[in-house]
């Protein structure tokens, strides 16, 4: 995307979100420019009036009118300056909300892809350096300030040059040449400095991934225990204070010192030349006293406005370039196609079938699943077991259509799941993932995944999941915040308690197909026994898939599927699989059973 196009896109996006922010920035830029110029014009007129011997009443009226206008403009400027900031902040929030809305609405396969992760990293990095409406609106205001200031100053200089035929004198052309040369050198220096600083930042970005990760939230209070136990403070401090950052700051400081020295020298040369020129012309009788005042102010404003415009234009273009990653993200196409078939109530209760399904993660050398076929009848309960990385969780993600298979097809009630409406299909599943997440929000909202919920149902689901006693100890009940991110009175819950809440969330959704991926990994033995013994009561007549490494927990399932290296290698009941000599299930069972036996006698 070209720079002009991305800048136009940014301004159009800001206008669509909050047009008042740009409107106020424009009028604020105009008033901030006109106030000093009107003050200089008023002083010029007043001095000329005194020189011409105008009556006191006329001078007083002129002064009163000028003061009234300046008072009104200052009042308007102050009001817009204060009221414009909330609009800029709100506009920035609206643009960021579009980013988060895109993330929440994006299909999982795309959100989980390396390309999307790299793009999100670019966005984080761009925002670290400062981009978005919060920065762009003030930059737009300064651009307006520069344009209006240069134009108005030039208009004020025209009558001064026309006075007494001054524009025909050779010194006028020499002075204009000095003004243009000094302004050009200052603008050129500003651009070179800005480009050099941006190159320093880009070089810093490529060498400081560790510090960027830590500063963006890689350290929270939850990591505090490990940091202290393993004495990781020096490592983290070193990462946060990498030498590259020090070198970048030193480099920027040197560039700014050089640019500041040159800019100050040029400004001093320009103002000195302006006063020398105007005084010499005034002594020759070409100018009035008021014109001298106006000329000096207008020349300074003209030069400063051009420099402001140059600097702000560089900043707003760079800001727009940093926003490009955000717009690329918002424009990502939805790769998960939604079918047009609406689901009937009975569709979600039909048989689940994998037909020769294969899937390879992007960039992976070997398939995560390879030619897997099985059928799960409605209302049946199956257990899925296997070594780490054998494809169990991938199978679940394909079933829930978080991914689409590379080969084969997944069927529900005899129809390819790609043909169903995507959102309707997802509603048929309640899943407790192995790496489930709870939010730092009230307990009831975490279970119901919404602000409005049936409190009695939520409480019933929590009790079924074994969280009832813990709920009774929470003084705010279902309104108790989990964790302390959002509320200092929030409750820190254990891993086992979090797993119970996740299980309650799956029960509350009341979907016809339930998937539990290691649902008891963090539970204590008593709670684990309660879940296993009450499993059929928990899931009722729903179709259920249970993934676990603890083979003793699979006995209550109708059938067990054994995965190994992405393939379905065995299936059957516990009794059948244990008897298969040389089978993977039997070897895993014996490996686990030895810890529960003593001298050949089973314990417990």
For 345-376, give the secondary structure using H, E and C. CCHHHCCEEEEEEEECCCCCCCCCEEEEEEEE
Mean pLDDT (whole number) for 272-276: 74
pLDDT at 384: 93
Span 412-438, pLDDT tens digits: 988 999 999 888 888 899 998 888 889
Q: Cβ atoms within 10 A of the Cβ of 223, count?
A: 12
Please give the pLDDT value at position 481.
94
Write the pLDDT tens digit of every residue in 454-475: 999 999 999 988 899 999 999 8
The helix (H) or strand (E) run that includes residue 568 is strand 567-572
The pLDDT assigned to 603 comes to 41
Instruction: Tell me, yes or no, if the pTM score tops 0.85.
Output: no
Whether 84 and 21 have beta carbons less than 8 Å apart is answered as: yes
Structure tokens at 29: 């830029």
Question: 393 with 517: CB under 8 angstroms?
Answer: yes
pLDDT in tens, 436-448: 889 999 999 999 9
Task: Point out which residues pair with 354 in neighbouring strands.
Answer: 374, 410
Which DSSP symbol is given to 482?
Answer: B
Token code pair at residue 585: 């299930």
- Mean pLDDT, residues 522-539 taken together: 69
Q: pLDDT higher for 420 or 97?
A: 420
pLDDT at residue 120, rounded to an integer = 84
Q: Please give the residue that has the higher pLDDT: either 149 or 242.
A: 149
Quote the tokens at residue 34: 């006109």
Across 27-41, 76-90, 395-409, least confident range:
76-90
Is the pLDDT score of 234 beyond 80? no
Inform me whether the pLDDT recorded for 242 exceeds 60.
no
For residue 253, what pLDDT band results from cuts at 50, 70 and 90?
A: confident
Instruction: Please give the pLDDT value at position 356.
Output: 96
Asked whether 438 and 492 are in contact (CB, 8 A), the reply is no
| DSSP-assigned letter for residue 159 | H
Strand pairing partners for 329? none
CA separation for the pair 301, 142 (Å, rounded): 14
Taking each continuous run of H as one helix and of E as one strand, the counts in the chain are 22, 12
More confident residue, 403 or 311: 403
Q: Tell me which H or E stretch contains 513.
A: strand 513-517
Q: Which residue has the tokens 């609405």?
A: 105
Mapped onto helix, strand or coil, the DSSP state of residue 420 is: strand
Q: How far is C-alpha 149 from the geometric centre of its chain's CA atoms?
A: 36
Residue 597: pLDDT band with limits 50, 70, 90: low
Instruction: Name the residue with higher pLDDT: 603 or 429.
Output: 429
CA–CA distance, 85 with 80 (Å, rounded to integer): 8
The pLDDT score that the predictor gives to residue 92 is 76
> CA 463 to CA 483: how far, in whole Å?
21
Rounded to whole angstroms, the Cα distance separating 372 from 569 reads 9
CA dihedral of 443, 447, 448, 450, whole degrees rounded to 10: 50
Predicted confidence at residue 604, as pLDDT, reads: 38
What's the mean pLDDT in 389-396?
91
- The helix (run of H) or strand (run of E) holding residue 493 is none
Q: For residue 420, how many other CB atoms are within 10 A of its CB?
A: 23
In angstroms, how far is the first alpha carbon of the chain from the final one?
Answer: 68
* Residue 602 pLDDT > 50: no
The pair of structure tokens assigned to 395 is 């199978």
Q: Are 197 and 255 in contact (CB under 8 A)?
A: yes
What percent of the chain has pLDDT above 70?
A: 85
Residue by residue, DSSP assigns 173-221 as HHHHHHHHHHHHHHHHHHHHHHHHHHHHHHHHHHH-HHHHHIIIII--G
Q: Which of 30-44, 69-83, 525-539 has the lowest mean pLDDT?
A: 525-539
Q: What is the pLDDT of residues 13-50, one digit of tens each?
A: 888 888 888 888 888 888 888 888 888 888 877 777 77
Q: Cβ distance 289 to 47 under 8 Å?
A: yes
Question: Encoding tokens for residue 139?
Answer: 């930059």
Token pair, residue 549, equals 């490494």
* Predicted local confidence at residue 581, as pLDDT: 84
Neighbours of 527 (CB within 10 A): 18
- Looking at residue 600, what is its pLDDT? 46
Domains and CATH numbers, the chain: 3-169+286-330 (no CATH), 347-428+511-602 (3.40.50.300), 439-497 (no CATH)
Which residue do the tokens 């190994």 mark? 564
pLDDT for the residue numbered 217: 56
Predicted confidence (pLDDT) per residue in 200-216, tens digit: 777 666 555 556 666 55
pLDDT value at position 347?
A: 64
The pLDDT of 308-324, averaged and rounded, is 83
């Amino acid at each position: 995307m070209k720079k002009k196009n991305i800048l136009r896109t940014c301004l159009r996006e800001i206008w669509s979100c909050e047009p008042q922010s740009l409107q106020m920035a424009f009028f604020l830029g105009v008033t901030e420019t006109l106030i000093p110029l009107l003050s200089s014009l008023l002083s010029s007129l007043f001095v000329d009036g005194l020189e011409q011997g105008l009556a006191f009443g006329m001078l007083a009226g002129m002064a009163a009118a000028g003061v009234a206008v300046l008072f009104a403009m200052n009042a308007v400027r102050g009001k817009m300056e204060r009221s414009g900031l909330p609009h800029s902040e709100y506009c920035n929030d609206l643009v960021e909300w579009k980013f988060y809305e895109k993330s929440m609405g994006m299909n999982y396969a795309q959100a989980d892809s390396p390309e999307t992760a790299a793009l999100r990293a670019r966005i984080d990095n761009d925002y670290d350096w400062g981009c978005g409406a919060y920065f762009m609106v003030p930059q737009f205001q300064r651009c307006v300030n520069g344009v209006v200031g240069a134009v108005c100053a030039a208009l004020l200089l025209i009558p001064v040059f026309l006075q007494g035929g001054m524009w025909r004198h050779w010194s006028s052309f020499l002075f204009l040449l000095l003004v243009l040369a000094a302004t050009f050198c200052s603008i050129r220096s500003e651009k070179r400095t800005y480009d050099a600083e941006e190159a320093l930042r880009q070089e810093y970005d490529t060498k400081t991934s560790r510090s960027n990760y830590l500063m963006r939230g890689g350290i929270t209070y939850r990591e505090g225990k490990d940091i202290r136990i393993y004495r990781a403070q020096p490592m983290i401090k070193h990462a946060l204070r990498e030498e590259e950052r020090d070198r970048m700051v030193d480099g920027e400081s040197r560039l700014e010192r050089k640019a500041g020295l040159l800019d100050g020298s040029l400004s001093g040369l320009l103002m000195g030349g302006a006063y020398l020129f105007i005084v010499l012309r005034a002594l020759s009788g070409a100018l009035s006293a008021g014109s001298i005042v106006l000329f000096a102010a207008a020349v300074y404003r003209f030069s400063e406005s051009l420099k402001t415009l140059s600097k702000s234009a560089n900043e707003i273009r760079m800001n727009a370039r940093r926003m490009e990653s955000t717009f690329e993200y918002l424009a990502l196409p939805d790769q998960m196609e939604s079918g047009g078939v609406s689901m009937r109530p009975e569709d979600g209760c039909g048989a689940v079938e994998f037909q020769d399904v294969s899937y390879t993660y992007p960039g992976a050398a070997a398939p995560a699943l390879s030619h897997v076929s099985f059928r799960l009848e409605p209302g049946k309960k199956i257990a899925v077991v296997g070594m780490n990385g054998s494809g169990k969780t991938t199978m679940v993600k394909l079933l829930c259509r978080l991914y689409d298979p590379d080969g084969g097809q997944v069927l529900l009630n005899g129809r390819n799941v790609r043909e169903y409406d995507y959102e309707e299909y997802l509603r048929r599943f309640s899943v407790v993932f192995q790496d489930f997440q709870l939010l730092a929000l009230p307990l009831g909202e975490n279970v119901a995944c919404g602000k409005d919920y049936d409190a009695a149902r939520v409480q019933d689901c929590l009790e079924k999941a074994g969280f009832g006693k813990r709920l009774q100890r929470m003084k705010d009940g279902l309104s108790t915040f989990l964790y302390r991110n959002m509320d200092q009175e929030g409750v820190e819950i254990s891993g086992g308690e979090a797993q119970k809440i996740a299980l309650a969330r799956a029960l509350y959704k009341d979907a016809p197909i339930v998937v539990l991926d290691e649902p008891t990994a963090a539970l204590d033995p008593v709670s684990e026994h309660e879940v296993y013994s009450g499993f059929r009561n928990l899931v009722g007549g729903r179709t259920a898939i249970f993934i676990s490494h603890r083979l003793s927990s699979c006995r209550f399932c109708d059938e067990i599927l054994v995965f190994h290296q992405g393939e379905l290698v065995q299936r059957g009941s516990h009794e059948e699989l244990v008897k298969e000599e040389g089978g993977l299930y039997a070897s895993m069972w014996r490996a686990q059973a030895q810890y529960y036996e003593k001298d050949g006698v089973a314990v417990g």
